[in-house]
Structure 1
Amino acid sequence: MGRIRAPYNLPELVRSTFARAKASGDVNFYPTQAAVLHVNSIPFQLRFSPSLANKPKPPPKPTNPDGNSSSGSGGGGGGGTKPFDPFADPPPALVVAKLEPWTHYLVLNKFAIVPEHFILATTAFAAQTDLLDAADLAAARACVDAYADADGGLFVFFNCGEHSGASQPHRHLQLLPVARMRDGLPAGGAGWEVLAARLGREQAAVDKVPFPCFVERLDDDDDAMFGAAADPEGVALRGKYLELYRRACEVMGVKGAEQQMDGEARISYNLAMTRDVMVLCPRRSEGAALVAGGGDEVGKLALNGTVLAGTALVKSEAEWDALRGDPEQLGRVLARI
């Protein structure tokens, strides 16, 4: 495999593709209200999108004549129907670019909370539940490097496993321009920063977050050590990733990961990457219930890899009010994930 390249003008390509797709209705953009809450003095942005509750739902899984849901494997005499794969043949209006040498491509998130939210997907099907390979990480790093001069850079996250917030079986990483993550925040986002960046700088922040996370700096020895030019095939990046994964498995009490190089991940986890840091958070739950002041349950807060950016999203006004009225509740939910 040769060096994976992202377009040098990637920020402009993403911006223009998003603008066209939004204008044509090919992207559904959900405006939000935003607030900043603090958990152990660490800022988390909370967003409320009532219209997201009406997001179109995928069709139900087809059933076999015996009434059981199809496995969707499409193999052998099970008679299953292959489930819809949004990354197998995406609408042309959503495609941002193909990355040379064509192992991956970039496509807009059709249901966007953050403007210019885009996705890095494998061209050929690969399982979301398997360990990332070097090419996945090299492709992500190429995108991060393309945003090096953009305001705030790029935040990359990956959801793996049943408790991680993953929703599609086709392997994909998600990418958010940090400048657009600040849109709508009070005072232009003053006081909030990407959590992963802070975790990479401050051991005190690692100690304060109410969930376990493991951190590797990407500039310990050489500022360019993990960039696309110095690590064109992502080998060094994957070494860092596997170290994080194995440490997380050990903490979760999972055996057999010490020598694992590929195959299905043994834990659920979220991975985050910026230009300077890689962070992995093992998961045991997707979220927890929220309660109003009187103790009545009003909904559930579910969290995916954006938790490592220091963000959370709710879809109902009752959930929005419950968290703003009792910010410590966010910390209690985070402690359970």
Structure 2
Amino acid sequence: MKSKGFSTGIWVFGATPDRFCVTGYKSGGNIEESLDRIAAVPNLTGVMMHYPQPLNENNVDFVKKALQDRGLKLACCDVDLFSDPIFARGSLMSENSELRKKAIDYSKKAMDIAEYLEAGVMNLWPGQDGFDYPFQINYVAQWNLMVEALIEIAQHNPRVRLSLEYKLREPRTHSTIYSSGTALYLSHATGCSNVGVTVDLGHSFNCKESPANVVALLDKFEKLFVLHLNDNYRDWDDDMAVGSVHFWETLEFIYYLNLSSYEGWLGLDIFPYREDSAEACRFSIENIQYMLEVVKKIDLKALHQIQKEANSLEAMRYIGSLL
């Protein structure tokens, strides 16, 4: 791995609302205020932002200067296809041609902004593409619509990577791109080399995956494009601080990530409702740095010998000795 450093979603420093406290648990700030707080966190040099809000064609030059003035870079431009109620029944897979075109256009513009601000990657999570009830959608038609949309978006700007973020559920009861395998399949189905996969650590936990195994698989096919790092209790996308719950599995994830050819950002996608945002980022960064120090101590030959015998307890004992 050759990391570009640590980044955070600008939303981490927002109002952090939920469905019970819709105004948010904190007072949100404007873009400049949020960037000021991000720039004050040690080792945090990248920012992830969504198109069309808060980043769009009208303020892209303002944001560019605001980032430069604070020594920050745009790590990724995400496209928001989930918060506007017009996409409530689908975006890229909508059988309403007008809405589908709007979602595709949003995605293309997000790619262009990613290139303009030198991020080089656009993250796509089509959160409203899925279903809630049996017989609600035509699966056959909508798989075709998804593949066709991804091809059109990817071919719009081949210089920018298009990274598919998968999630088991929420806001729909069933998401279409629901697992790493589905995302990997779609990246190959497009036939476009600039289409890959985003691993959100918490989403992988929700899917009952081994995130370390996912990293090894995606790295094998050179499709690991973006990382969102967080934690949860596996039953919901809690977006907690990294390593706060699944220490061992996160450590294994970091081990395989360190062995991979990944060259992107270590992105913090947390949502600290009641915690101080800067402190939650610091805690996450410190945990990741500690885990990186541990995995670099591992004697690969010694570990591989233990793994040849599939000796689980001896493997855990060996790794534990390095903590």
For the superposition of Structure 1 and Structure 2, which TM-score range results when normalised by the shorter chain? Answer: under 0.3
**Greater RCO (Cα-Cα under 8 Å, separation 6 or more):** 1
Give the TM-score, by structure 1 length: 0.25
Higher strand share: 1
Higher helix share: 2
Give the TM-score, by structure 2 length: 0.26
